[in-house]
Chains A and B, each alone.
Chain A
Amino acid sequence: QSVLTQPPSVSGAPGQRVTISCTGNSSNIGAPYDVHWYQQLPGRAPKLLIYGDNYRPSGVPDRFSGSKSGTSASLAIAGLQAEDEAEYYCQSYDRSLSGHVFGSGTNVTVL
């Protein structure tokens, strides 16, 4: 059971905006340690989508955005596209566990 809690699934129609929450506590997101987001397509390695809470690596569409407040973080996907169907993970550091931790993962479905 992960210390970073994500909803198991979210869905939306093409073109809609969806958000994925990542809830932690004062030992991780609220410490505050940076939060990062990854996209994992089926059968593929994870890909960095957002780093440092809200920065996009080169090549990541600006439809993806990150935010953080207190002990929670969020990933927003605007203008949802079929290619966005994937598993999404948040990641941070936890000082109580003395290590990097991942969220439980959220499956995004495009209706």
Chain B
Amino acid sequence: QVQLQESGPGLVKPSETLSLTCSVSGGSIDRRSYFWGWIRQPPGKGLEWIGSIYYNGSSYYNPSLKSRVALSSDTSTNQFSLRLTSVTAADTAVYYCARQWGRRLAFYHYGMDVWGQGTTVTVSS
């Protein structure tokens, strides 16, 4: 059974870079059927897709965050990572990593079938 676990600093200063890692166990991130994504949820608000990465490194990003986001993956450690630059208080949220898959094997039809427990990141000086 695949499990995902986010890790990283819980507090980041404004204008600095937020870096999170998602460790995957019970399955390999280089399986071709899956994308691996990041989603966030500001306090008391809804879910926002940040971006997704494929086993070969291909990435898709939310256009509203694209200029500040970079995803990477490391098959040797079975982890994928998120970097978000120039953070502000608006980036304060619970950040989730998730496995993406769909019955129709195309990224546009994918949902998030396995989620990490989430990690809270606060942007504050």
Contact = CB atoms under 8 A, between A and B. Distances in A.
Interface of A: 2, 31, 33-34, 36, 38, 44-48, 51-52, 55, 57, 89, 91, 93, 95, 97-105
A2 B46 contact: yes
Given A46-B47, A99-B62, A93 B112 contact: no
Interface of B: 37, 46-49, 52, 60-63, 96, 102-104, 107-118
Contacts of A44: 117
Nearest to B108: A93
Nearest to B111: A36
Nearest to A52: B103
B116 A45 contact: yes
A34 B46 contact: no
Contacts of A102: 46-49
13 contacts: A34-B102, A34-B103, A34-B108, A38-B47, A46-B47, A46-B96, A48-B111, A48-B112, A48-B115, A51-B102, A89-B47, A99-B61, A104-B46
B41 to A, nearest CB: 9
Contacts of B111: 34, 36, 48, 51-52, 91
Contacts of A45: 96, 115-118
A92 to B, nearest CB: 9
Contacts of A104: 46
A103 B49 CA distance: 11
Contact of B112 (A31, A91, A95): A91
Contact of A51 (B49, B61, B103): B103
Contacts of B60: 98-99
B1 to A, nearest CB: 11
A55 B109 CA distance: 13
A100 B49 contact: yes
A18 B80 CA distance: 39
A36 B113 CA distance: 10
Contact of B109 (A48, A93, A97): A93
A95 B49 CA distance: 14
Nearest to A46: B115
